[in-house]
Amino acid sequence: MVTAVISGLGVALPPSAVQAELWDGYFAHHYTGTRQALAKRIFTNSGVRTRQAVVSPLLEDVSSWSTERRMRRYQVEAIPLGKAAVGRALADAGLTADELGLFAVCSCTGYATPGLDILLARDMGMSPSVQRLFVGHMGCYAALPGLGTVSDFVVARGRPALLLCAELTSLHLQPAGTRTDIQQIVSHALFSDAAAACVVTPGGFGYGVSEVAAVTDATTADHMTWEVTDAGFRMGLSAQVPSVLSAHVRDLVDDVLAKRGLRIADIDGWAVHPGGPKILDVVQERLELDDAALAPSRGVLEAYGNCSSATVLLVLDALRRQEDPPRRIVMLAFGPGLTLYVTLLEGSTLGA
């Protein structure tokens, strides 16, 4: 049987900035009155030390821009960033762009037609017959259903596929004085920009995609929102999100591992989407993991911030670059719904 194997990864990042400098140089003036002290505490306790942006507020304030203007800038910035990530993933896998059978793109931070899937397929030299898929507005967990979809294609068609997650959250800085509530402050303190791509092939060396599963608690659909407004996209993020994750994450992980006759103790790598420090704390507590298990996820949050759908691939990249890479990895990501996704990877294997 053909095994879908992650055989290449590529990451591309825009310029980085220090969190403390972002606060002192911009956000300290963005919030006023009683909100300023609260915002400073949130920024300080975000778990983020540095993060990157295609449009840094220290250089260019987009908070007053219309959504149309933000979307035009999205295309300008996302194309070279996506091209770099795709090129690095293909080189890592030892493939050329014209060998791909499917090109899938996940992004919730920008839209246009022709989109990234069309323009990058053209610019990277993909075949005119390559199949394309664009997944929008799924949010932070989109990489895992995206990975499941390209893996299914690889198994069914026996051809390589590539998944790109490209997120430019910096384009959605909200105006001062509009919805400057706690949810928006948290969003401004956490989110960042990145592009990450992975090549999935029929067999070969890498991490085999063994299981993909999800659970959605639709009773909490209003706990996480991403609204399209006249001033960009606006995040809604309830403080109840960690408690909802706490109620579901252990059962979901146990059920997925049981299908392979595994337990949590059999997993030596954890790629957990670092939505924020409290989310990582909840996952660590419910899965009874030690500090070392969550160190890669916390390290990505500290160095890169929350890059929405690209973030869990950044953690996977950090894990595989370890001196002694893990043999089995559980990837976890969370987003609107509220939705929890889990993916089990097993490597390094030689498939069909």
Q: Nearest CA to 165 among 201, 116, 226? A: 116
Phi, psi of 317 (to 5 degrees): -65, -40
In the chain, alpha helices (H): 19-22, 28-30, 34-44, 67-93, 116-123, 143-157, 182-190, 241-258, 277-287, 291-304, 311-320
CA distance 279 to 224: 13
Amino acid present at 169: T
Q: Is 255 helix (H, G, I), strand (E, B) or coil?
A: helix
Annotated active-site residue 106? The verdict is: no
CA distance 134 to 129: 16
Q: What is the DSSP string of 231-246?
A: TEEEEEE-TTHHHHHH
Pick the catalytic residue from 106, 140, 165, 307: 140
CA distance 10 to 322: 16
What is the strand order of the sheet 339-347 is part of? 131-136, 102-107, 161-168, 193-202, 4-12, 207-216, 339-347, 328-335, 269-272
CA distance 241 to 223: 6
Partners of residue 166 on adjacent β-strands: 195
Q: Nearest CA to 106 among 337, 333, 319, 348? A: 333
CA distance 340 to 264: 17
CA distance 181 to 183: 6
User: Is residue 128 left, alpha or beta, with left meaning phi > 0 and alpha meaning psi from -120 to 50?
Assistant: alpha
Show which residues are catalytic.
Answer: 140
